[in-house]
Amino acid sequence: MEPPTTPTTTSAPQRRRVAVAAAVAMATAAGGLAALTGTATAAGEPVTVQYRTSASGATADQVEPWIKVKNTGSVAVQLSGLKVRYYFKADAGSPGYRFACSWAVKGCANITGTFGTLAHPTASADRYLDIGFTSGAGSLAPGEDTGDMQLRFYRADWQTLNQSDDYSFGAAQTSYANWPKITAQLAGSSVWGTAPEGNDPTDPPTDPPTDPPTGGQSLFDDFNYTTSSDPRISANGWNVRSNSGGPGVPGATWAPENVTFSSTAGNSVMNLRTSTSGTGESTKQTEVLSKAMKFKNGTYAARVRFADAPVSGPDGDHLVQTFFTINDLKAPMADDYSEYDFEYLPNGGWGESSNILYTTSWETYNPDPWQAVNQHTESRQSYAGWHDLLLTIDNSSIKYYIDGRLFGTHDAAYLPERGMSINFNQWLIDFGGLSSTTARSYDEQVDYVLHVKDQVLTPAQVTAKINAYRTAGTDFEDSVPAS
C-alpha cells in the first residue's frame, strides 16, 4: 500500500492516520473479515508495541529486546501481515549480527528476524532488525496481545557490544510498557511508533530512475533452449552438470536429463528437477553453472520459483534450492575463496524444523574439521512461488534483495578477491527422516539470469534492463570479459 502523495503538504501525523486506516482495511480484507465502519477507522492505532529489555547494561554480550504486540483496534489483525522494527547503531568492526528467539508464547518457529541497513543513518541508528511472523502465528483478536516474545541478537563474533547508543534501546525499561521507538507496519503501512529521522517508511520514497542504465558489460540469459543437450547451452558458456561429487546425499548423481525447458505465459523457463526414492543411488540432483569464473563485483539478478511441496510423491526430504556465485577453495581456510548464496530449504534441514531462506556471504572454510567464516541473514517463512533475487557487490558491502526489498547487508570483510561462476542447483541434504521408498520429485524454476559487471543496479533498474532485453528480442548476451 503506497502512502498518499497528495496534497504534497500532508504532514507526517496526517499521513500516519491515513496509513493506519488503509492498513487495517487491507488486513481485514485479507483475513476475510467484515469491513470497518467509518467510526472504527477513525479510532486510534490498530496495534501498540510494548517493550522491555532483559539486558539493561550499556555493554552486553547480546541485545535482548522482549516485545509484546497488542491489538488495540476493533478487528482481528493477521500477524503474518505485521512487521516490528528495532533500530540500532552497528558496532565498529562488527562482522554482522545474528538473531535468535529464546522463547515466545506464539512459538519461536513462527517468528522471523531479518537485519537491514537504514537508507538515512543517524547518530543512533544505521541498522535495524525486522521482526516478522509466519502464518502459523495466527491472528490477534481485539484486545489480545502476543504474550512474551523473548528475542535477542548478538555480534557474529560474540564480542561485547555497546547498546547505549541504540535508538530503540531503553535501559530503564525493565518492565513492559508502550515504546514508540520501536515501529510497526501492518500490510506495508506504518501504524505505530516513530522511526529515526528521515527513515519513516510512510514518507514518499525517492525512487531512482527506472530507465535501463546504459553501458556496463553484461551477461543476460532468458534460458530459451530446447533440451539440456541443446548445443547453444555450452556455446553460451553454461555447463549442465553430470560429473560426480558433492553436495548432496552420498551416492546421488547429477542428472542433465532432469534439466528441461518450457514456455510459461509466453516466456521461456528453465526447470531443475531433483528426484529420489529415499536412497542415495536413486537420487538424481540438478545443477547448471557457468563454465567461466569471471564474475566479481557488480549486480547479480535472477527470477526463481521455489516450491514447498514435491511435484509428486511424499513430502519431507531436506531439500536445498539455490541461486549463488562461487569459486574454488584452493586450500583449507584459503583467503581468496568467495561464495554468495540464496538458499531456500522448504522442509528445513541443518537443524531447522521448517522452511527457511538463507543469504550467506563466505570468506572461507575448512572442510575437515568443519570450520566456516561467513555472515548470513535468514528468514523463517515460506517462500514458495516466484521471487526476484538480487545481489549487489561493490567495494564496501554485499547486499541481498528479495522482491525489491532489502533482505540483508553483509560487511566488507566478505568481499570477493577473485572471479566466480554463476550457479543454480537443487540437492538433498538428507531424507528428512522419511523411510518411504516411494518415488518423489521436486522442481525449482528459473526465468532469467543477469549480471552487470562493476555496476550496482537498483531493483527497478534491473526490471527495466530485463524488459529492454525482451522488448528487443534478445535471448542471450555475454559481453563480460574473461577475468
Which 8-state DSSP code applies to residue 258?
G
**In whole numbers, what is the pLDDT of the chain averaged over residues?**
87
Give exposure, 429-454, as e/b (b: 16+ Cβ within 10 Å): bebeebeeeeebebbbbbbbbbbbbe
Q: What element of type H or E holds 79? A: none
Q: Are 113 and 130 in contact, with CB atoms under 8 Å apart?
A: yes
Overall average pLDDT of the 118-146 stretch: 91
- Residue 201 is predicted with a pLDDT of 59
- Which candidate, 474, 341, 477, places its Cα nearest to that of 410? 341
Query: Would you say residue 41 has pLDDT above 80?
Result: no
CA angle, 298 then 303 then 309, to 5° = 135
User: Cα–chain-centroid distance for residue 381?
Assistant: 10
Question: CA 126 to CA 173: how far, in whole Å?
Answer: 22
β-pairing verdict for 284-290 and 253-254: parallel
Kindly provide the residue ranges of all beta strands, DSSP E only, lying in 72-169, ordered along the sequence.
77-78, 82-88, 97-104, 111-122, 125-133, 139-140, 149-155, 161-162
Please state whether the peptide bond connecting residue 212 to the residue before it is cis, i.e. omega within 30 degrees of 0: no
Rounded to 10 degrees, what is the CA torsion of 84, 375, 381, 451? 110
Closest CA to 390 of 434, 435, 359, 428: 359
pLDDT at 44: 58
One-letter amino acid at 276 equals T
Q: Which amino acid is at 210?
A: T
Q: What integer is the mean pLDDT of 203-231?
A: 75
The whole-angstrom separation of Cα 66 and Cα 194 is 18
All cell numbers assigned to 220: 543476460
Can you say whether the dihedral through the CA atoms of 77, 79, 81, 82 is positive or negative? positive
- Predicted confidence (pLDDT) at residue 33 exceeds the cutoff of 50: no
Tell me, what DSSP letter sits at residue 346?
A: T
How far apart are the C-alpha atoms of 214 and 461, rounded to whole Å? Answer: 10
> Omega before 314 cis (within 30°)?
no
* Residue 469: band (very low, low, confident or very high) from pLDDT cuts 50, 70, 90: very high
pLDDT in tens, 345-386: 999 999 999 999 999 999 999 999 999 999 999 999 999 999
Residue 149: band (very low, low, confident or very high) from pLDDT cuts 50, 70, 90: very high
Separation in Å, CA 142 to CA 151, 410, 467: 24, 39, 45
d(CA 207, CA 24): 26
Residue 180 CB neighbours (<10 A): 15
Q: Would you call the peptide bond into 201 cis, given omega within 30 degrees of 0 as the criterion?
A: no
Does 28 have pLDDT greater than 90?
Answer: no
Please tell me which residue, 45 or 253, carries the higher pLDDT value: 253
C-alpha cell at 458: 537498483
Among candidates 183, 216, 221, which has minimal Cα distance to 202?
Answer: 183
Amino acid occupying residue 398 = I
Q: What is the pLDDT of residues 441-457, one digit of tens each?
A: 999 999 999 999 999 99
Predicted local distance difference test score (pLDDT) of residue 187: 77
Give the C-alpha separation, 388 to 459, whole Å: 9
Q: Cell numbers of 319, please?
A: 531439500
For residues 246 and 252, what is the distance between their CA atoms, to the nearest angstrom? Answer: 9
102 sits in the region (left: phi over 0; alpha: psi -120 to 50; else beta) called alpha
User: In this structure, what are the phi and psi dihedrals at residue 24, rounded to the nearest 5 degrees?
Assistant: -65, -40
- Chain-centroid distance of CA 96 in Å reads 16
pLDDT bin (cut points 50, 70, 90) of residue 264 is confident
Which one, of 172, 160, 174, lies nearest residue 59 by Cα? 160
Q: Which residue has the cell 543476460?
A: 220
Residues 6+ apart with CB under 8 A from 6: none
Q: How far apart are CA 365 and CA 390, in angstroms?
A: 24
Pairing of strands 267-276, 440-453: antiparallel
Q: What is the pLDDT of residue 3?
A: 24
What does the alpha-carbon distance between residue 373 and residue 363 come to, in Å, rounded to a whole number? 6
3-state secondary structure at position 321: strand
Q: How distant, in Å, are the alpha carbons of 83, 105, 134, 136, 251 from that of 354? A: 20, 18, 11, 11, 25
Look-up of cell digits 487495517: 24
Task: Write out the three cell numbers for 21.
Answer: 486506516
